[in-house]
C-alpha cells in the first residue's frame, strides 16, 4: 500500500514523540511491505515563528491532499500572551474545522501491568475499557461572538450547535457503541443548558434507529465523579466538545498517565487526523522523557481508521502491550517496579516487538 501522510510536529514534546511515531511507522512499512510517504507541515507555535500564523494555508492544502494527518501537539508559554488569533491552539482548532473533523474518538483502555500506576484503587479500575466520542467542531470552542466587551469588564463566549451537528456525532456514537458492548452513555447538562436539552432529544430520537444499543443519560457533573468511582459502568460515552475535552483528561487517570491516550479525529468522508489527547507538555519538553505511547497508538488508529490496515494496527497495539508487560515504562507512569526508559528507548522496545511479529 502507498500512502501520503502529512506530519505536523508542532511544539513542546510534539516533535520528540512524532519522531518515535515515524520510526514505528517505518518499521510497519518495512515489515508489512507498505510505502508511507511523509510530508512536513507547520502548525501551532512553530508556524507562528516561521510563517506568522498558527495555521498557514499551505498546511490546510497539504492536509487535504494527503491520505491522513499525524499531529504531535501545539502550544507553550512562549505564545501564551499572544492575542487569541495568534495562539498555537488556534491552529489546532482551525485545522479541525477546515477538515470538518467533527468526530473525536478517544479510547481509554488501561494495561493490566500498569494497574498500580493509577492513583485509583485496583479493584475500581480493573476491567475498565471505554471510548469517549467527543464532538470536535462545534460548541463553545467555535460559537461567535467570543469576545471581551465594554472596557474589558464583560466577556461573552457562545455555545452554538445546530441539530445537524449534534445528530451526526450522536449517530457516530451509536455506530461506535454497536461495534463495542452496545452500551451508550450520553453526557449533558440538560438540567440547565438549552443545547443539552436538544442534545438529549436527539439521542432519544436516534436511539429508535439503534434498538440493539442501550442508552442512558448522565449529567456531566455526576459523570465526572462516576468516571473515577465506577469506570467499569461505562462503555461508549458521547458528549459535546468541551465536556469531552475535560472528561477525557480525567479518564486518562484510569490508565496511569495522560501520555497513554491516543485519539482519532474523523470527518464524514475526508482525511482523518490522529493525535494524542495530551498537550505539548512544556514542563518536560526536550528531555527525551515524554511518553511516546499516546502518539504511537494514535498512529495505530490511523492505520486502522484511514487505511483499514487492521493487522498492522494490531501489531503496534500488541507491541506496546508486550513492552509494558516486560516492565518497561516512561517516567510519567508512577510504578515502583520495572524499568523506567527514555522516550527513544521505550520506542526501541516497542519496535523490537513489531519486528518479532
Q: Can you give the binding site for ligand NAD, defined by CB under 6 A?
A: 13, 73-76, 89, 92, 258-259, 275, 278-284, 290-291, 294, 332
**Binding partner of 259, given ligand NAD, Mn ion, ligand IPM, none, CB within 5-8 angstroms per partner class:** ligand NAD
Say whether 144 counts as a known binding-site residue.
no
Q: Is 89 in the site for Mn ion (CB under 5 A)?
A: no
Catalytic hit among 30, 40, 49, 221: 221
Catalytic hit among 157, 226, 249, 352: 249
Q: Is 135 in the site for Mn ion (CB under 5 A)?
A: no
Smallest distance, Å, CB 348 to ligand NAD? 17
187's CB contacts (< 8 A; 6+ apart) are 217, 218, 219, 220, 223, 237, 238, 239, 243, 247
Say whether 249 counts as a known binding-site residue.
yes
274 as an active site residue: the answer is no
Say whether 98 counts as a known binding-site residue.
no
Nearer to ligand NAD, 3 or 278 (CB): 278
Smallest distance, Å, CB 92 to ligand IPM? 5
Smallest distance, Å, CB 320 to Mn ion? 22
Alpha-carbon span 278 to 92, nearest angstrom: 13
Query: Which residue is associated with the grid cell 498557514?
Result: 56
Assign 155 to helix, strand or coil: strand
Nearer to ligand IPM, 93 or 213 (CB): 93
Say whether 285 counts as a known binding-site residue.
yes
Nearer to ligand NAD, 54 or 279 (CB): 279
Say whether 2 counts as a known binding-site residue.
no
Smallest distance, Å, CB 70 to ligand IPM? 14
Catalytic hit among 102, 141, 274, 328: 141
CB-CB contact of 301 with 96 (8 Å) = no
Say whether 250 counts as a known binding-site residue.
no
Catalytic hit among 189, 235, 274, 328: 189
Alpha-carbon span 228 to 118, nearest angstrom: 11
Smallest distance, Å, CB 132 to Mn ion? 11
**Where do contacts with ligand IPM occur on this chain (CB under 6 A)?**
75, 89, 92-93, 245, 277, 279
CB-CB contact of 41 with 7 (8 Å) = yes
Cell of 190: 440538560
Among 16, 188, 235, 245, binds Mn ion (CB under 5 A): 245
Assign 214 to helix, strand or coil: strand
Nearest to 183 by CA among 219, 221, 210, 223: 210
Nearest to 342 by CA among 291, 285, 282, 281: 291
Nearer to ligand IPM, 45 or 75 (CB): 75
Alpha-carbon span 289 to 287, nearest angstrom: 5
β-strand 35-41 against 264-266: which pairing, if any?
unpaired
**Binding partner of 110, given ligand NAD, ligand IPM, Mn ion, none, CB within 5-8 angstroms per partner class:** none
59's CB contacts (< 8 A; 6+ apart) are 6, 8, 41, 42, 43, 47, 91, 95
Smallest distance, Å, CB 183 to ligand NAD? 28
Nearer to ligand IPM, 93 or 285 (CB): 93
Alpha-carbon span 256 to 178, nearest angstrom: 27
Catalytic hit among 11, 188, 245, 332: 245
245 as an active site residue: the answer is yes
172 as an active site residue: the answer is no
Nearest to 38 by CA among 60, 14, 12, 18: 18
Nearer to ligand NAD, 102 or 210 (CB): 102
The continuous run of DSSP H or E covering 340 comes out as strand 339-340
196's CB contacts (< 8 A; 6+ apart) are 188, 189, 190, 240
Strand-pairing partners, residue 8, are 41, 71
Q: Which residues are catalytic?
A: 141, 189, 221, 245, 249
Positions at the binding site for Mg(2+): 221, 245, 249
Positions at the binding site for substrate: 96, 106, 134, 221
Positions in the binding site for Mn ion (CB under 5 A):
245
Amino acid at each position: 500500500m502507498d500512502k501520503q501522510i502529512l506530519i505536523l510536529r508542532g511544539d513542546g514534546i510534539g516533535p520528540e514523540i512524532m519522531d518515535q511515531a515515524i520510526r514505528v511507522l517505518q518499521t510497519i512499512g518495512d515489515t508489512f511491505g507498505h510505502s508511507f510517504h511523509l510530508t512536513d507541515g507547520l502548525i501551532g507555535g512553530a508556524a507562528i515563528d516561521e510563517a506568522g500564523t498558527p495555521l498557514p494555508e499551505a498546511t490546510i492544502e497539504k492536509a487535504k491532499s494527503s491520505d491522513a494527518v499525524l499531529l504531535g501537539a501545539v502550544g507553550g508559554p512562549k505564545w501564551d500572551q499572544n492575542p487569541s488569533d495568534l495562539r498555537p491552539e488556534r491552529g489546532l482548532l482551525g485545522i479541525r474545522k477546515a477538515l470538518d473533523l467533527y468526530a473525536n474518538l478517544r479510547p481509554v483502555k488501561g494495561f493490566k501491568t500498569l494497574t498500580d500506576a493509577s492513583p485509583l484503587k485496583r479493584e475500581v479500575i480493573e476491567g475498565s475499557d471505554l471510548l469517549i466520542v467527543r464532538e470536535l467542531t462545534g460548541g463553545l470552542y467555535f460559537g461567535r461572538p467570543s469576545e471581551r466587551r465594554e472596557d474589558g469588564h464583560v466577556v461573552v463566549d457562545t455555545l452554538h450547535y445546530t441539530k445537524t451537528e449534534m445528530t451526526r456525532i450522536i449517530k457516530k456514537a451509536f455506530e461506535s457503541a454497536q461495534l463495542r458492548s452496545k452500551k451508550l452513555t450520553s453526557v449533558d447538562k440538560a438540567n440547565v443548558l438549552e443545547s443539552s436539552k436538544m442534545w438529549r432529544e436527539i439521542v432519544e430520537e436516534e436511539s429508535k434507529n439503534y434498538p440493539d444499543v442501550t442508552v442512558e443519560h448522565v449529567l456531566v457533573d455526576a459523570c465526572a465523579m462516576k468516571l473515577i468511582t465506577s469506570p467499569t459502568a461505562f462503555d461508549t460515552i458521547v458528549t459535546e466538545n468541551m465536556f469531552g475535552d475535560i472528561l477525557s483528561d480525567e479518564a486518562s487517570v484510569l490508565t496511569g498517565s495522560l501520555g497513554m491516550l491516543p485519539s482519532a479525529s474523523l470527518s464524514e468522508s475526508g482525511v482523518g487526523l490522529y493525535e494524542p489527547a495530551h498537550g505539548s507538555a512544556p514542563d518536560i519538553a526536550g528531555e527525551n522523557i515524554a511518553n511516546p505511547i499516546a502518539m504511537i497508538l494514535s498512529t495505530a488508529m490511523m492505520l486502522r481508521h484511514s487505511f483499514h490496515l487492521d493487522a498492522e494496527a494490531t501489531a503496534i497495539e500488541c507491541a506496546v502491550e508486550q513492552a509494558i508487560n516486560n516492565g518497561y515504562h516512561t517516567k510519567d507512569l508512577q510504578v515502583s517496579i520495572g524499568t523506567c526508559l527514555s522516550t527513544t528507548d521505550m520506542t526501541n522496545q516497542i519496535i523490537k516487538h513489531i519486528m518479532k511479529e
